[in-house]
């Protein structure tokens, strides 16, 4: 091996090619210019498409956040002015009922409400006849509450009655009824109405103008094809649904190539 000789050979060739200037083919510059021209619009198209997608994502996430933002909860407290609890009273001797009631005031209204709820529910299912009779909200509440309390009251009455008839059970009942009407009523029938309206609104034909319409409009402005890449819709529960048409995205890619 003789590196000096080899380098000399390389050197000879290098010198030879250094001054080598073959003629470039005639139309090559036109080809290059055409290819450069062709590339420019392609380059611009891709970022616009991605910007549209990015903008849509930002808008969607913003709206979703706004709809789910934390809201401070206000708890409403019912004021019980003259609370009397029939259950407590009737288990004890009727004579000592009044003083005991005043002593146990704070805990009672809660129990009463619970009972009212339970019976109101049962009422809804069982006694349709009674509900049909109800006309005005105030009467309604009184009626429903009365009827809600009535089974219990009736049972207590039967308990109490044999023990001591002379203690006028009618008085207790009257007192209970006035106490119930005095308590700010939570109206089960109203709740029922809400449910009904909810059920009615779930009818897909009557979809209200919602967030999805706005989003679809935004998509329409950036994506001007007949079929959109992203379509928004609301379902029965009001949550937002996104439909991606991936076949469109794929087609677009192919076209770029």
Nearest to 222 by CA among 59, 12, 19, 10: 59
Q: CB neighbours of 214 closer than 8 A, spacing ≥ 6?
A: 63
Window contacting other proteins (CB under 8 A); options: 27-35, 82-90, 149-157, 235-243? 27-35
CB-wise, 39 or 251, nearer to other proteins? 39
Q: How far is the CB of 34 from other proteins (least distance, A)?
A: 10
Any contact of residue 4 with other proteins (CB under 8 A)?
no
Applying CB under 8 A, among 21, 77, 254, 255 the residue interacting with other proteins is 21
Any contact of residue 14 with other proteins (CB under 8 A)?
yes
Any contact of residue 103 with other proteins (CB under 8 A)?
no
Q: How far is the CB of 254 from other proteins (least distance, A)?
A: 22
Any contact of residue 46 with other proteins (CB under 8 A)?
no
Any contact of residue 132 with other proteins (CB under 8 A)?
no
Any contact of residue 241 with other proteins (CB under 8 A)?
no
CB-wise, 23 or 128, nearer to other proteins? 23
Any contact of residue 47 with other proteins (CB under 8 A)?
no
Any contact of residue 5 with other proteins (CB under 8 A)?
yes
Q: How far is the CB of 256 from other proteins (least distance, A)?
A: 16
CB-wise, 32 or 242, nearer to other proteins? 32
Any contact of residue 45 with other proteins (CB under 8 A)?
no
- Specify whether the backbone of 67 is left (phi greater than 0), alpha (psi in -120 to 50) or beta: alpha
Q: Give how far Cα 146 sits from Cα of 90, 114, 247, 252, Å.
A: 17, 14, 63, 69
Structure tokens at 211: 């967030």
Any contact of residue 33 with other proteins (CB under 8 A)?
yes
Q: How many residues bind other proteins (CB under 8 A)?
A: 26
Nearest to 111 by CA among 183, 38, 42: 183
Q: How far is the CB of 46 from other proteins (least distance, A)?
A: 15
Any contact of residue 1 with other proteins (CB under 8 A)?
yes
Q: How far is the CB of 243 from other proteins (least distance, A)?
A: 38
What does the alpha-carbon distance between residue 150 and residue 165 come to, in Å, rounded to a whole number? Answer: 19
Query: Which residues form the interface with other proteins (CB under 8 A)?
Result: 1-2, 5-6, 8-10, 12-14, 16-17, 20-25, 28-29, 31-33, 35-36, 39
């Amino acid at each position: 091996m003789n590196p000096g000789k080899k380098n000399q050979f390389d050197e000879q060739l290098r010198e030879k090619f250094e001054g080598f200037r073959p003629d470039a083919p005639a139309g090559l510059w036109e080809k290059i210019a055409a290819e450069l021209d062709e590339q420019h619009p392609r380059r611009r198209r891709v970022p616009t498409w991605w910007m549209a997608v990015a903008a849509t994502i930002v808008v969607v996430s913003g709206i979703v956040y706004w709809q789910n933002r934390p809201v401070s909860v206000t708890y409403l407290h019912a004021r019980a002015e003259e609370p009397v609890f029939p259950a407590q009273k009737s288990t004890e001797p009727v004579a000592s009922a009044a003083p005991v009631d005043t002593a146990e005031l704070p805990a009672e209204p809660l129990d009463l409400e619970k009972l009212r709820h339970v019976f109101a529910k049962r009422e809804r299912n069982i006694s349709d006849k009674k509900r049909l009779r109800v006309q005005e909200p105030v009467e309604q509440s009184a009626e429903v509450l009365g009827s809600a309390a009535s089974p219990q009251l009736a049972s207590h009455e039967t308990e109490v009655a044999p023990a001591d008839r002379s203690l006028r059970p009618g008085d207790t009942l009257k007192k209970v009824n006035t106490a119930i009407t005095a308590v700010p009523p939570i109206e089960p029938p109203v709740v029922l109405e809400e449910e009904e309206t909810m059920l009615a609104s779930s009818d897909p034909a009557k979809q209200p103008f919602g967030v999805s319409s706005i989003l679809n409009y935004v998509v329409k402005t950036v994506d001007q094809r007949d079929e959109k890449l992203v379509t928004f819709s609301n379902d029965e529960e009001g949550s937002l649904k996104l439909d991606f048409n991936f076949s469109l995205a794929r087609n677009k890619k192919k076209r770029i190539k």
